[in-house]
C-alpha cells in the first residue's frame, strides 16, 4: 500500500507521540508499504518553525530529510500537473476519467483511507 502521512502523523511518528494510532504506526513500519511525506508538509513544518510555533533540534532543512531517511519515508513532490488535475476531481473525491491514479499526489487520501484504486 502507498501511504501519505500528514504533517501531524509525521511529527508524532518521529517524536514517539502517543497520539499516533497503532494502526498508522503499524502501516508505516510494514516493509510492504511505501510511505511518503509531501513537500507541503515540509513547507508547513518550516513555516511553523519560523513562526516559533514548532521547536526542532535542527533547522527544518536538515531535520526533516534526516527524519524521513531514518524512518524510510520518501519525499513526495507537488507537481503543477497534479494540481491542475484537481479541477477534474469529482465532488465524491474520486478521480475523474482524466485524472490518473498512477502517481501519488497530496490530494489522494492518506493512511486514514488509502489511495483510490488500491485495496
Instruction: Please tell me the predicted confidence (pLDDT) of residue 108.
Output: 38
pTM for the structure as a whole: 0.69
Q: Which residue in this structure is represented by grid cell 518550516?
A: 46
Q: What is the DSSP letter of 58?
A: S
Instruction: Please tell me the predicted confidence (pLDDT) of residue 88.
Output: 62
Instruction: Please tell me the predicted confidence (pLDDT) of residue 99.
Output: 37
- In the chain, what are the helix, strand and coil shares in percent, each to the nearest 5? 40, 10, 50
Instruction: Please tell me the predicted confidence (pLDDT) of residue 116.
Output: 41
Per-residue pLDDT reduced to its tens digit, 64-97? 999 999 999 999 988 777 667 765 654 445 554 4
What is the spatial distance between Cα 81 and Cα 106, in angstroms, rounded to a whole number?
A: 12
Taking alpha carbons only, the member of 116, 107, 106 closest to residue 1 is 116
Instruction: Please tell me the predicted confidence (pLDDT) of residue 93.
Output: 56
Instruction: Please tell me the predicted confidence (pLDDT) of residue 84.
Output: 72
Q: Which residues of the chain have pLDDT under 70?
A: 82-83, 86-119
The domains found in the chain, sorted by start residue, are 2-80 (3.40.50.1010)
Amino acid at each position: 500500500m502507498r501511504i501519505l502521512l500528514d504533517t501531524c502523523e509525521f511529527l508524532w511518528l518521529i517524536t514517539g507521540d502517543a497520539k499516533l494510532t497503532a494502526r498508522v504506526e503499524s502501516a508505516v513500519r510494514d516493509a510492504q508499504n511505501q510511505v511518503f511525506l509531501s513537500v507541503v508538509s515540509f513547507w508547513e513544518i518550516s513555516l511553523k518553525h519560523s513562526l516559533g510555533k514548532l521547536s526542532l533540534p535542527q533547522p527544518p532543512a536538515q531535520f526533516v530529510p534526516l527524519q524521513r531517511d531514518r524512518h524510510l519515508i520518501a519525499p513526495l513532490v507537488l507537481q503543477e500537473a497534479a494540481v491542475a488535475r484537481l479541477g477534474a476531481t469529482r465532488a465524491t473525491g474520486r478521480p475523474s476519467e482524466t485524472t490518473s491514479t498512477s502517481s501519488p499526489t497530496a490530494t489522494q487520501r492518506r493512511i486514514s483511507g488509502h489511495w483510490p484504486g488500491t485495496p
